[in-house]
Amino acid sequence: MNTKVTIAGVELKNPVMTASGTFGSGAEYGEMVDLNRLGAVVTKGVANVPWEGNPTPRIAEVYGGMLNAIGLQNPGIDVFVQRDIPFLRQYDTKIIVNVCGKTTEDYVAVVERLGDEDVDMLEINISCPNVKEGGIAFGQDPKAVEAITKEVKRYAKQPVIMKLSPNVTDIGVMAKAAEAGGADALSLINTLTGMKIDIHKRRFALANKTGGFSGPAVKPVAVRMVYQVANAVKLPIIGMGGIATAEDAIEFILAGATAVSVGTANFFNPYATMEIVQGIEAYMEKYGVKDIKELIGAVR
Amino acid sequence: MAQVKMNGMVKSQEKLASGVYSMWIEAPQIAEQAVAGQFISVYTKDPSRLLPRPISLCEIDREAGAIRIVYRVVGAGTSEFSCYKEGDSIEVMGPLGNGFPLKEKRAFLIGGGIGIPPMLELAKELNCEKTAVLGYRDELFLEKELGSYSKVYVATEDGSAGTKGNVLDAIREGNLEADIIYACGPTPMLRAVKEYAAEKGIECYLSLEEKMACGIGACLACVCQSKEVDHHSHVHNKRICKDGPVFAAEEVEL
């Protein structure tokens, strides 16, 4: 049975990776999860300098999901390079660094800095709904998507994954813009912008008022968007949005994803990634699937 | 060893006061590692409620492999927990967080409301002169049990028991003194305790709470403002779940 998949020339032992921001750089979950079992670890977003993030409360539970407005708190690229890359390199897994920024120059600074580092791919976060500048400002305008992709690609030495926002009218248009800009792969979906109000205190549940909606409740939207993007572009897709079980992961692969990311599920099941790796193998066994590539986009 | 997520078993459950419940959970892998001031994540059975509820440990029985939580019903999740009966399974992860530093000094154990439970295990583990100062809105709970390990002073907002007012009013009224403070309770209480400790020049440890998701330091939801640069993100945001929940008072901005 072959579970290997290839994205932009990078071979993953299986299609299961972590979703940025839900897994840190792997150190905390490493106590409970064998990181060697994962196709890749996608790190928490890292900027050129440390970011403080948003005030608390930063999260709220909602029916079947959660809202978060962490605001991309991160230690900046210097600490990341010294501490997190050597940590992850101890394991037999691929490293995908999620890059965030407020300006094009910020993104480029991080991408350039990572040029000589031992990381496998870069995921460019142009879709975070929780920071006022940058992030999503780049991800909701096709011209901006194409421009930032081009600029990042000029400096990147590793393959570039553009992470798309679902908070747009037509995600296919954004996918085509990233493809035109030279992206090597796409990942989707980032979180959906949401809001929760505490009716007893008559206050927003989050200090940031709005936050990114994630968890099992968003899965049908995410599957639809992966299918839509798979039909719009030729690039490999990393699908995510509410994946909690192997069945969820297979749904995304059948819709057109080459790999999948597990995010919010880590919070309620720290073992979710490993269970999904095993569950995909069990599914392949059950249906006599010899190569996982047979499943990618198999439902048309 | 590290934290484990496991299926525990409810050994007993009783109501201590209106909306306040006490549950003993058999969870040997957690009990054997746990220390006073740590907490566990408790998961609901209803899958529409994803996130675990962080609840402090009230008692640890290492020999019996059991832990006790005393919690207040504040929403649908804790309401579900309150319906569990002896023999029911309960999904828990722990032990989480750092716990209280045990120092053999004349101690104040200050608890406000649902911040009182962690003071019980602390009182059991501290081997020194102890005074528990407990603040309630009205109905008392755990004050008798704490009385087996410590002197106990009570304050109630409505004056129905002990000093009318808050924990600091009880300290002043009783002319109480200590050389170290351990405190857990609502933020306004912790702010006042921090100020009191600074005024008196007493060592002080505060146990904080915040909305949490992962419970193990990865998601960065439950940060508090710290004086020093934190070692995770190199800003001023310590993680309550991982770097805390217990902090030296001067270390955090409340």
- From chain A residues 87-116, the ones with a CB under 8 A of any chain B CB are none
- Evaluate whether residue B158 is within a structural domain: yes
Selecting among A47, A128, A189, A265, the annotated active-site residue is: A128
Is the CB of A57 inside 8 Å of chain B's CB atoms?
yes
Interface test with B, best of A61, A67, A245 (most B CBs within 10 A): A61
Residues B191 and B225 occupy one common structural domain: no
pLDDT, position A137: 73
Residues B200 and B222 occupy one common structural domain: no
Residues B113 and B38 occupy one common structural domain: no
A112-147 tens-digit pLDDT = 999 999 999 999 999 877 676 666 778 899 999 999
Is the CB of B102 inside 8 Å of chain A's CB atoms?
no
Per-domain residue ranges of chain A: 5-294
pLDDT, position A132: 62
B30-59 tens-digit pLDDT = 999 999 999 999 999 999 999 999 999 999
Interface contact flag, B213 A68, Cβ < 8 Å: yes
Stretch A151-173: mean pLDDT: 97
Residues B71 and B113 occupy one common structural domain: no
Task: Verify whether residue A128 is a known catalytic residue.
Answer: yes
- How far apart CA B109 and CA B94 sit, in angstroms, is 24
A74-98 tens-digit pLDDT = 999 999 999 999 999 999 999 999 9
Spell A191-212 as b/e; 16+ CB within 10 A means b.
Answer: bbbbebeeeeeeebbbebeebb
CATH number for the domain harbouring residue B11: 2.40.30.10
- Evaluate whether residue B102 is within a structural domain: no
B182-201 tens-digit pLDDT = 999 999 999 999 999 999 99
**pLDDT tier, A14 (very low <50, low <70, confident <90, very high otherwise):** very high
Please identify, among B56, B73, B96, the residue that sits at the C-terminal boundary of a domain.
B96
- How far apart CA B10 and CA B92 sit, in angstroms, is 11
Whether pLDDT at A164 is above 70:
yes
DSSP state of A15: S
A16-30 tens-digit pLDDT = 999 999 999 999 999
Domain enclosing residue B235, as ranges: 210-246
CATH number for the domain harbouring residue B226: 2.10.240.10
Is the CB of B91 inside 8 Å of chain A's CB atoms?
no
| B222 contact residues in A (CB cutoff 8 A) | 56, 58
Interface contact flag, A267 B237, Cβ < 8 Å: no
β-pairing verdict for A237-239 and A185-188: parallel
B59-105 tens-digit pLDDT = 999 999 999 999 999 999 999 999 999 999 999 999 999 999 999 99
- Evaluate whether residue B41 is within a structural domain: yes
pLDDT, position A139: 87
The closest CB to that of A70, out of B43, B220, B242, belongs to B220
- Over pLDDT 70: what percentage of chain A? 98
- Evaluate whether residue B101 is within a structural domain: no
pLDDT, position B214: 95
Is the CB of A153 inside 8 Å of chain B's CB atoms?
no
A269-296 tens-digit pLDDT = 999 999 999 999 999 999 999 999 999 9
Give how far A263 is from chain B: nearest CA, Å.
10
Whether pLDDT at A198 is above 90:
yes
| B33 contact residues in A (CB cutoff 8 A) | none
3-class SS string, chain B: CCCEEEEEEEEEEEEEECCEEEEEEECHHHHCCCCCCCEEEEECCCCCCCCCEEEECCEEECCCCEEEEEEECCCHHHHHHHCCCCCCEEEEEEEECCCCCCCCCCEEEEEEHHHCHHHHHHHHHCCCCEEEEEEECCCCCCHHHHHCCCEEEEEECCCCCCEECCHHHHHHHCCCCCCEEEEECCHHHHHHHHHHHHHHCCEEEEECCCCCCCCCCCCCCCEEEECCCCCCCCCCEEECCCCCCEEEHHHEEC
pLDDT, position A135: 67
Residues B139 and B215 occupy one common structural domain: no
pLDDT, position A133: 62
Query: Is domain A5-294 in CATH 3.20.20.70, yes or no?
Result: yes
- From chain B residues 65-84, the ones with a CB under 8 A of any chain A CB are none
- Signed CA dihedral, A76, A52, A196, A66: sign only: positive
**pLDDT tier, B1 (very low <50, low <70, confident <90, very high otherwise):** low
Mean pLDDT for chain A?
96
β-pairing verdict for B130-136 and B246-248: unpaired
**pLDDT tier, A254 (very low <50, low <70, confident <90, very high otherwise):** very high
Residues B111 and B174 occupy one common structural domain: yes
Chain B residue with Cα closest to A272: B5
**How many domains in chain B?**
3
Interface contact flag, B50 A60, Cβ < 8 Å: no
- Label residue B220 left, alpha or beta by phi (over 0 means left) and psi (-120 to 50 means alpha): left
Interface contact flag, A76 B234, Cβ < 8 Å: yes
Interface contact flag, A28 B50, Cβ < 8 Å: no
Give how far A220 is from chain B: nearest CA, Å.
15
Give how far B241 is from chain A: nearest CA, Å.
12
| Residue pairs between chains A and B whose CB atoms are closer than 8 Å | 110
